[in-house]
A and B are shown apart, each in its own frame.
Chain A
Amino acid sequence: MATTTATISLNSADITGDPLSLSKTSTLTKAQGTDGLNQFTGITTLVYASAQTATPLVLAASYVNTAVAHKVYIRNTSTSEVDYINIELGSSNVSLGRLYGGDWAFLPWDAINDIDVDTSGALTIEFGVFSQSTLSA
């Protein structure tokens, strides 16, 4: 059983009246249990030479779905503030949101919907999927 931890830190001295200093760590476990997620794609770098529209990034068909605790990490590695990735869900391409240069996301994913991306132009995406190989009981 693997043990993987994910920690988020949000810090700001001036976004609210009092300083924001949030740090949360979770252990990435399978759904409904304490066993660790046991599959990982590795951190993958994709270089897009031109703007993309609804380009598949993570395919739901490759994973067990629903009663799962998969997690997806995505980062726009661009250093330009105008370059963005638009993350989309499913065949209807419902827009989740935009990651501008340097932004990252860490999101739960039940592998019902593909994760697609639009890009504003040529840029590089870094991503990885932490998943469980079988459904939880």
Chain B
Amino acid sequence: MATTNATLTLSSGDLVGSNLSLSASTVLNKAGNNTGMDQAVGLSRKLTSSLDTYTLFKADEFTANLAHKVYLKNISTTASEYFTVTIDDSILGRLYAGDWAFFPWAAADGVKSAFTVTFAATWATDDTAVFDGVTITLAATETVAAMAILVGAAKYPNFTAAVTSSGVVTFTAKDSNDLSLIEEGAASDDYVITTAGNGTGTVARTVAPVASASDIKITPSVGTAMTLESMLIFQA
């Protein structure tokens, strides 16, 4: 258990009729208890160099609806330069030069797409199964179960794969923002099987994707160099 204190001090001698002097302090605890949050994406800096939108923290990578806290600061010293901070597509606000922010983060996950491939019949030497840039080529005749094991053991750039029953492999997208829908059926253009025998691999979508609405994104106001400082304190 770590102990992290966050303190805010707001001061002004002339914003209102009397002096403003507010101080708020909290210990950053995990959701629903008094145990300190114990993980951090340490203080880091992101240098932007275009007007693109940059994803700072991806909700998929964190557990949703806990007590995560985000710190951001625009390092720029040019008054007109700002970062627009958005929660996915919802604009929060602009951080102008020197401004900082500290706010809770829901990290609400999207839904990752998933599909199954059910292998059947006979798989022969040199038969192939191609998906996500990965080609499985058989060196010998294989049973349906062995074919599924080979496919499930491969490493895919954008999906995880696992044998979920004999002859059946379930693929799950690594990113909920991957909204592509794989073509279903025994002759899918997305999961391509080439066989000299009568082997089949039938694709069935099992989970439709829903994009995350909680990624923290920043968009710089200028395409030249700007720097954002950030830190995420979170719990698993």
Among A34, A40, A102, the residue within 8 A (CB) of B27 is: A102
A39 CB to nearest B CB, Å:
9
B71 engages A8 (CB within 8 Å): yes
B42 engages A5 (CB within 8 Å): no
Q: Which single residue of chain B is at the shortest CB-CB distance from A85?
A: B104
Q: Which single residue of chain A is at the shortest CB-CB distance from B40?
A: A15
Known: A9-B6, A12-B5, A13-B3. Contact between A110 and B94, CB under 8 A? yes
B53 CB to nearest A CB, Å:
15
Known: A13-B3, A99-B104, A100-B67. Contact between A7 and B90, CB under 8 A? no
The CA of A34 and the CA of B68, in the complex, are separated in Å by 32
B92 engages A109 (CB within 8 Å): yes
Among A31, A68, A92: residue with most chain B CB under 10 A? A31
Complex interface: chain A residues within 8 A of B171 (CB) = none
A77 CB to nearest B CB, Å:
9
B104 engages A24 (CB within 8 Å): no
Query: Is B225 on the interface with A (CB-CB < 8 A)?
Result: no
A108 engages B90 (CB within 8 Å): no
Among A2, A3, A15, the residue within 8 A (CB) of B37 is: A15
Among B4, B27, B65, B96: residue with most chain A CB under 10 A? B96
Q: Which single residue of chain A is at the shortest CB-CB distance from B11?
A: A5
Complex interface: chain B residues within 8 A of A5 (CB) = 9-12
B81-89, B142-150, B162-170 - the one binding chain A: B81-89
- Complex A-B: 24 CB contacts under 8 Å: A4-B20, A6-B100, A8-B8, A10-B231, A15-B2, A20-B43, A24-B73, A29-B79, A32-B79, A40-B16, A71-B93, A73-B10, A81-B33, A96-B105, A97-B106, A98-B31, A100-B31, A100-B32, A103-B28, A104-B24, A106-B102, A107-B102, A113-B90, A128-B22
